[in-house]
Amino acid sequence: MNETILQTRNITKKYGGKAAVDNISMTIKKGDIYGLIGRNGAGKTTMFNCLTGNLTPDSGEITMEFSPMEKRPATFDDMGLVLAQPHLPEFMTGQEFLKFFIDINKDKIDAAVDMDADFTLIGFAHGDRHKLIREYSYGMKNKLQILAFLILRPSVILLDEPLTSFDVVVALQIKNLIESIKKDHVIIFSTHILPLAQDLCDEIVILHNGKLTELDASKTGDKDFESQIIAMMTEDKAND
């Protein structure tokens, strides 16, 4: 079976001479949830914008590999970015938005879409599908944008702080949803909440001062693991 791999080599992006991401290389395979941990302002969003093409790195390359014989530069269409703050047309109902999204992306969607089944998947009651999006809670809006990308099925799904500010029930629903789709995607999960990354992610890396540090996954259960990470993310605080 062919394996989808996202690879970055020496990605650097500077603002005013300071590197927000500095010579970052990583390799992520389909089926893994890759946790990107960093404090607010650590460069996580800059890295995501480089991956999607919304920002052009100053140097480095980003590639997709689907088999040993099929390797090419990554494109915007390979990526699905789920933002921490959903941006949805609030004058539409959830069902109208989903139909509109499917229509404008029909050339990219391989299989027939069963909207009822998809709404059920994300825990939307039938009545909620016909409410205006402006009436949705934050959690409902976030689930709707995740559903849109599940329908589109990009090779890579980038989750930018996806569980921030949710109540316990919605956070658990979205966590379960992410775990259920990981076998079909390369997933990068950005968060500043370490216990969440420990619970959900197969691999964890720290982004601090523009540099990426890989962690030993076997150590995540150690009693001093969290204190080591906190020390790592607070060193050189004056330079953040």
Q: What is the pLDDT of residues 28-72, one digit of tens each?
A: 999 989 988 887 777 888 999 999 999 999 999 999 999 888 899
Higher per-residue confidence, 220 vs 149: 149
Cα–Cα distance, 110 to 120 (Å, whole number): 21
pLDDT band at 166 (very low <50, low <70, confident <90, very high): low
Find the mean pLDDT for residues 99-119: 85
d(CA 15, CA 204): 26
Which tokens go with 123?
């825990």
- C-alpha to C-alpha distances, 57 to 5, 81, 149, nearest whole angstrom: 20, 17, 24
Q: pLDDT for 187-230, tens place per residue?
A: 998 887 777 788 888 888 888 888 888 876 666 666 677 777 77
pLDDT at 238: 42
Listed range (10-14, 93-97, 107-111, 112-116) with the worst mean pLDDT? 107-111
Q: Where are the beta strands (DSSP E) in the chain?
A: 5-15, 18-29, 33-37, 59-67, 70-73, 79-82, 156-160, 186-191, 203-208, 211-214
Pairing of strands 5-15, 18-29: antiparallel
Does 180 or 240 have the greater pLDDT score? 180
List phi, psi (to 5°) of 216: -80, 110
Q: For residues 134 and 91, is the Cβ–Cβ distance under 8 A?
A: yes
The ranges assigned to domains in the chain are 5-86+155-239
Distance, in Å, from the CA atom of 71 to the CA atom of 92, rounded to the nearest integer, reads 39
Convert the pLDDT of each residue in 117-131 to its tens digit: 888 877 788 899 999
| Beta carbons of 200 and 175 less than 8 angstroms apart | yes
Confidence tier at 95 by pLDDT (50, 70, 90)? very high
CA distances (Å), origin 43, targets 20, 117, 192, 206, 237: 5, 37, 11, 11, 14
- Architecture of the domain whose range is 5-86+155-239: 3-Layer(aba) Sandwich (3.40)
- The mean predicted confidence, pLDDT, of the chain is 84
Average pLDDT over residues 2-11: 89
Calculate mean pLDDT across residues 13-26: 90
CA separation, residue 107 to residues 48, 101, 157 (Å):
25, 11, 19
